[in-house]
Amino acid sequence: MRWFGLLSLLLVVLPLKAETLAQRVEQLNANVIFMRHALAPGFGDPENFDLSQCDTQRNLNDEGRAQAREIGSKLRATNLRFTEVLSSQWCRCSETAELLGLGDWSTFSGLNSFFQGYAQRESTLAKLNTYLEGLGGDELVVLVTHQVVISAATGISPQSGGIVLYNSETNRAEAWRW
C-alpha cells in the first residue's frame, strides 16, 4: 500500500516537472537552450581526428544514445516550440541532435569544439556571438555543443547531456536540472 501511495505521488509530480522547464524558460525569457552532447566516454578526441570521419572521433555509447532519447522525450513533453535546432559538426553532437527527435536540425561551425585546437576558439566564438546577437526574443533555439563552448558563452560547465538556459539579450544563464 505504501508503494501505491509513492507511485501515485510520482505520477502527479513527474508531469509537473516537464512543465517546470517551460515555466523557467518563460521566467528567464530564455531564447536559447544550450545542451552539451550526451555521454561520449573518454577525454577529447583521438590524434587522428577527422571532422568528416566519425570513426576518428569520440562518440556516444549506448548509454549516451539512451540519454539523448530521454532528454528529447522530456523536451517534447514541455510543448515548447523550437524555432531552430543546431549542432556542432562533431559526430557526438550531431547524433545527439538527431536522437533528441525535435525535428529538423543542421550543423553550425559556431558550435564546434576548440578544446584541442581542431577549431579556432576566436573564430568559433565570433560566429556563435554573431548568431546569438541576431536572435529575437520570440525565438527559442536548441544548440547542441560541447562543454568548452557552453562555458565560454555562459560561464556554466554542464555535464554530458546538461542543459543551460540562456537569454541572449541579457546574457543571463542558468543551469537546468531535470
Q: Where are the domains of the chain?
A: 2-176
- Which cell goes with 15? 508531469
CATH number of the domain located at residue range(s) 2-176 in this protein:
3.40.50.1240
Cα–Cα distance measured from residue 68 to residue 99, given in angstroms and rounded to the nearest whole number: 6
Place 9 in a pLDDT band, splitting at 50, 70 and 90: very low
* Predicted local distance difference test score (pLDDT) of residue 2: 53
Instruction: Give the residue-averaged pLDDT of 149-170.
Output: 98
Task: Convert the pLDDT of each residue in 94-127 to its tens digit.
Answer: 999 999 999 999 999 999 999 998 899 999 999 9
* Predicted local distance difference test score (pLDDT) of residue 14: 46
Task: Convert the pLDDT of each residue in 55-68 to its tens digit.
Answer: 999 999 999 999 99
* Predicted local distance difference test score (pLDDT) of residue 118: 87
Percent above pLDDT 70 for the chain: 89
- The single-letter DSSP state of residue 174 is E
Average pLDDT in the chain: 91
What one-letter code names the amino acid at 15? P
CA distances from 129 to 108, 117, 143, 171, 173 (A): 12, 19, 13, 11, 15
